[in-house]
Chains A and B, each alone.
Chain A
Amino acid sequence: MADKKKPKRTKEDKDEDLPFKSILESDEAILKLLKSYISSSLTAAGSSGASSSSSSKPLTLADLSLSSSCREVADLSLSSVQTEIETVIVQIARSILAGDGFSFSVPSRAASNQLYVPELDRIVLKDKSTLRPFASVSSVRKTTITTRILALIHQLCLRNIHVTKRDLFYTDVKLFQDQTQSDAVLDDVSCMLGCTRSSLNVIAAEKGVVVGRLIFSDNGDMIDCTKMGMGGKAIPPNIDRVGDMQSDAMFILLVEKDAAYIRLAEDRFYNRFPCIIVTAKGQPDVATRLFLRKMKMELKLPVLALVDSDPYGLKILSVYGCGSKNMSYDSANLTTPDIKWLGIRPSDLDKYKIPEQCRLPMTEQDIKTGKDMLEEDFVKKNPGWVEELNLMVKTKQKAEIQALSSFGFQYLSEVYLPLKLQQQDWL
């Protein structure tokens, strides 16, 4: 199909510099369309809010009477974290002195212990726990590392300082061996103590960046994200520093990759269509997810996602939307509801006539991931997504955002995105 159309298109290309540019209306017209969409969606939310008085507050596990069978963590103050740790340690010491050794009961974060709750539209952790005894060859390492991490966090509590995950790892490299081990135990510990990872005073290195029509305070300093140069502002690793968000944007654009982000930032896309552009450069970290949620909650803007047209693009989208399995215990704080899939969608490949040489064949692994995702609840709940994913698996083709560069580097910001906005083509 696409092959047959190709020669025709090249003919059209001669008449106009970029395909589909002719359909594009003026920026003012698109802005007008967007404004009417936003006001209508807001009034819709408002009217539904009026009818059911409870929806002003988001649903919680307790509302669904799931709090007994599911585990969720909360932000705890430093002193209560300290008390929790001390209680655990005293218990251990007592058990050791009684000659019984010791063990931890750690909530299992395995896939079998995860539950997607459609009412909440996110993944939560069930209540299954595994026992981690010291006197067992298979768990002695993890148990020791857990003890060590508890002691380290106890120190952080006493001194009231923040350290990075990397710092934590370097305090005892010989025991931890590599950072993935100390990181995994850190998640176990926050799960065990029932607090968020941020309450442990351990932060991750900055990964995400934000640029555009946003003003917020970072540790008391006001930041204007339109005046942060081309690279934008790094998203602060601990969200409690962030406050006073103000914006005149119409939407938040969530970008999977750095390359597309740089393109949009350099073209100052946010000045043409007032928006906030965010990326976590691949799989999102905790800070970016917290930041996105905060923006969405405080500014009440629609979130549009621009990801690759492959199973991993959708996976990243799902992590923002419904949470990751690894950190499902804190999904209430980490997920952003109602993210729209703007592009690149499998159906866009033919719709925008992406040339054959820019599409990539899916590997066996890709296809398997795609099929697995079709079984996931968070995909199933959105019929539009299911359709797109089915199309991807059927055509066995994927494409990256950069595939659009085949029409010129600025096609993304000049034509594709405005056209998408004009047609309100998101799912």
Chain B
Amino acid sequence: MAGGDSPAETKKGSSKTSKNTKDSSKESTLKQKSPAEFFAENKNIAGFDNPGKSLYTTVRELVENALDSSESISELPEVEVTIEEIGKSKFNSMIGLIDRERVDTKLYDDYETDKAREKRLVKEARASEIQAKNLASGKKNKEPGVSKVLKARGEASYYKVTCKDNGKGMPHDDIPNMFGRVLSGTKYGLKQTRGKFGLGAKMALIWSKMSTGLPIEISSSMKSQNYVTFCRLDIDIHRNIPHIHLHEKKANKEKWHGAEIQVVIEGNWTTYRSKILHYMRQMAVITPYAQFLFRFISETPEKNVTVKFTRRTDVMPPIPIETKHHPSSVDLLLIKRLVTDTSKKTLLQFLQNEFVNINKNLAARLIGEMGPDFSPGMAVKSVTSQQMVRIHQLFRQAKFDDPSGDCLSPAGEYNLRLGIIKELHPDMVATHSGSAQVFEGHPFIVEAGVSVGGRDVKQASHILLLFIHGINIFRFANRIPLLFEQGGDVVTRTALKRINWNSYKINQTQDKIGVFVSIVSTKIPFKGTGKEYIGDDISEIATAVKSAIQQCCIQLKSKIVKRLQAREQQERKRSLSRYIPDATGAVYEVLKQMTEEHTKKRKRYKEEETAMLEKVSKLIITKETLKEKLAEHVEQVDYEMALEYATQSGVSEEPRENIYLQQLNPNHSNFIDLQSPTFVFRLIL
């Protein structure tokens, strides 16, 4: 058996024994439990619920780290992700285990008893029979009837995940600690960040340790360095320290800067293939200034996947600025930490400098309000726990100005729009960027895009992100896509229940509608264990989402109305002519009946009517004459209306889109220029 369980087993065992030893030596065991240990035992909250999800989470953590790193030095990100499937025998050879054939087959869970085998054969025979029948009757066969090979328990799949970026890189000496030590609460200030837990690649490392036991490999170079650091390490989960295998400097021939991280983990590509590809594409939507290359290398080459998401713009959103806490957002623990960490001496200075929206005047007033125990000059370190509670209470009740949204870095309407157009090619798109709003002391900005129509299903065969008829929702929080637990999300609920699509001339079931909502904040109020969605119970956010989507819809409506009018112009004659036979047929039918009545003298008619009925009986008026005359009239009306439409609307064109030209690679120098007085034609060899 490929030891999927054994490392975890030993780890569990070791942690238990260590706990015991600690129990005897120290009083408080809880404090001594390493953060790495905690996460190893609660990996589901970080998105490592099962092998498939773990593969997905590993990819996303690495990609998000890479983007952060490139953006931090204002470099247009270039990210390469490779997932390489590793077969069992290859894996075994990697860990130095020799393949062993099963001897006692009955020992295994997937052993097939004679009875079961008989049953299966009968079933397979029947299936092939049906298939043959279908083939004979010319019916399409769904899939060549490959019976699903059930993966036996313990038959794990392994993947080598590599992520390379062009970011900042890491200092040579810091690398072991950056990866091999799980730290919590390193951030002092408050900032809009991509990561949901701030754990980055460390969880991936812990997962690799738990599932394969193989070390992580890191290559990194910084802009100023003329070497590449190569480091192979794993983590000592129990002691929370890195265990370095190799840490060396290599020559940097390509003047590359950035980081390349490689982990070998247990995963499941088959079940999470679509999620991972969706993630990459949605990331490309929200990050159109980045270039992504995604590759999946399988043991069977026909299953290989290569997707390139090209850059569409070189405008990057600004780097989010670190900001201080807003008084109404802090809790007791945070006050305690701020008090411990502050460099300020007095309470007045502390209040004034460690929070936003408290100036000196307000700080003095607040201290006055706290009671006689407090004074502006008192040493902040002498504040007791009890007094902190008083501060906390006051912060909750007092009125402060709202924090500004300046510290946030939204994707920007421009980028969102480009991203949608670039990856999804809709017929129409509208975007809107809301102003900054506040929820519990944290500023947030909601941006939305709504698209209608999209590329045909046939054209985009293997690329998974397609519009289906109806509403397709794309959610982004702090510029990363959210893929799971869509049902409860504020965006889903709003789009499905609170937007009256009909009033914008959008057909909720027939049209292909894309709804894109990006929310950025210093703190996204996630819900659920995996932090996979934003709850629907926060009215501030729900209102902002609704109004942003509505703004997009209003923009779209005028476009749609114009288009409908144009279509009506084109189809008017046809849709009118369709009804001519029915209408004239009905009229003629009555006339004929009347003629019959008239000739049989069953009913007397007025003079004018008699004149017409006589014409009907003499076949001067027939169904055909009625048809012809009505068709003439339709022609006439159509001509008049077309003329009217043309004079009204004039010659108008669709607004033009700027095209984006890729920057040339400066390394290319062998150009051939064909000069002309008006332009230069350059051939790139």
Contacts and interface: CB of A to CB of B under 8 A. Distances in A.
Interface of A: 85-87, 89-90, 92-94, 96-97, 99-102, 134-137, 140-141, 143-144, 147-148, 150-151, 154-155, 158, 172, 175
Given A93-B621, A101-B634, A134-B583, A151 B589 contact: yes
24 contacts: A86-B609, A87-B609, A90-B608, A93-B591, A93-B612, A93-B621, A96-B584, A96-B587, A96-B626, A101-B630, A101-B637, A134-B630, A134-B634, A137-B576, A143-B583, A144-B582, A147-B582, A147-B586, A147-B587, A148-B582, A151-B586, A151-B587, A151-B590, A154-B590
Nearest to A85: B590
A222 to B, nearest CB: 37
Interface in B623-656: 625-626, 629-630, 632-634, 636-638
A155 B592 CA distance: 11
Nearest to B577: A140
B594 interface: yes
Contact of B582 (A93, A94, A175): A175
Given A86-B590, A101-B637, A134 B579 contact: yes
B621 A135 contact: no
Given A92-B587, A137-B571, A147-B587, 19 more contacts: A85-B590, A86-B594, A86-B605, A90-B608, A93-B591, A96-B587, A96-B633, A97-B629, A99-B636, A102-B630, A134-B583, A134-B634, A135-B638, A136-B637, A137-B575, A147-B583, A151-B586, A151-B587, A154-B589
Contact of A140 (B576, B594, B629, B632): B576
Interface string B601-628: 0000100110010000000010001100
B593 A135 contact: no
Interface in B398-425: none
B572 interface: yes
Contacts of A141: 579
B576 A150 contact: no
Contact of A155 (B593, B609, B629): B593
Nearest to B613: A90
B112 interface: no
Nearest to B596: A158
B568 to A, nearest CB: 6
Given A134-B579, A137-B575, A140-B575, A93 B633 contact: no
A89 B583 contact: no
B612 A90 contact: yes
Interface string B382-404: 00000000000000000000000
Interface string B328-354: 000000000000000000000000000
Nearest to B637: A135
Contacts of A150: 586, 590
Nearest to B571: A137
A147 B588 CA distance: 10
Contacts of A92: 587
Contacts of B589: 151, 154
A11 B612 CA distance: 86
Contact of A135 (B576, B590, B597, B612): B576
A100 B633 contact: yes
B639 to A, nearest CB: 11
Given A93-B621, A135-B637, A137-B568, A144 B587 contact: no
Q: Which of B572, B576, B586, B630 has most chain A Cβ within 10 Å? A: B586
Given A140-B576, A158-B593, A135 B633 contact: yes
A146 to B, nearest CB: 9
Nearest to B568: A137
**6 tightest A-B CB contacts, nearest first:** A101-B633, A151-B586, A135-B637, A144-B579, A147-B586, A89-B590
A143 B576 CA distance: 11
Interface residues of B, number: 32
A154 B633 contact: no
A221 to B, nearest CB: 33
B588 to A, nearest CB: 8
Contacts of B632: 99
A96 B609 CA distance: 15
A192 to B, nearest CB: 15
Interface in B559-587: 568, 571-572, 575-576, 579, 582-584, 586-587
Contacts of B621: 93, 97
Contact of A99 (B590, B593, B608, B633): B633
Nearest to A151: B586
A155 B605 CA distance: 18
A89 B636 CA distance: 23
B1 to A, nearest CB: 57
B609 to A, nearest CB: 5
A29 B633 CA distance: 77
A85 to B, nearest CB: 7
Contact of B591 (A89, A102, A137): A89
A135 B593 CA distance: 26
A158 B594 CA distance: 10
Contacts of A175: 582
Contacts of A85: 590
Contacts of B608: 90
Contacts of A97: 621, 625-626, 629
Contacts of A148: 582-583, 586
Nearest to B620: A97
A174 to B, nearest CB: 9
B593 A90 contact: no
Nearest to B597: A158
Contacts of A151: 586-587, 589-590
A94 B612 contact: yes
Contacts of A134: 576, 579, 583, 630, 633-634
A90 B587 CA distance: 8
A90 B568 CA distance: 31
Contacts of B582: 144, 147-148, 172, 175
A87 B630 CA distance: 19
A150 B593 CA distance: 13
A241 to B, nearest CB: 27
A140 B636 CA distance: 15
A276 B632 CA distance: 61
Given A134-B583, A135-B576, A150-B586, A90 B630 contact: no
B309 to A, nearest CB: 44
B674 to A, nearest CB: 54
Contacts of B594: 86, 89-90
A137 B609 CA distance: 31
A93 B626 contact: yes
A137 B574 CA distance: 10
A150 B585 CA distance: 12
Q: Which of B621, B633, B634 has most chain A Cβ within 10 Å? A: B633
Contacts of B638: 135
Contacts of B571: 137
Nearest to A86: B594
Contacts of A158: 593, 597
Q: Which of B576, B587, B626, B632 has most chain A Cβ within 10 Å? A: B587
Contact of A90 (B597, B609, B633): B609
A172 B667 CA distance: 74
B630 A96 contact: yes
Contacts of A101: 630, 633-634, 637
Contacts of A137: 568, 571-572, 575-576
Contacts of A86: 590, 594, 605, 609
Contacts of B575: 137, 140
Contacts of B576: 134-135, 137, 140
B45 to A, nearest CB: 37
A136 B571 CA distance: 12
A92 B626 CA distance: 10
Contacts of B568: 137
A215 to B, nearest CB: 41
A152 to B, nearest CB: 8
Contacts of A172: 582
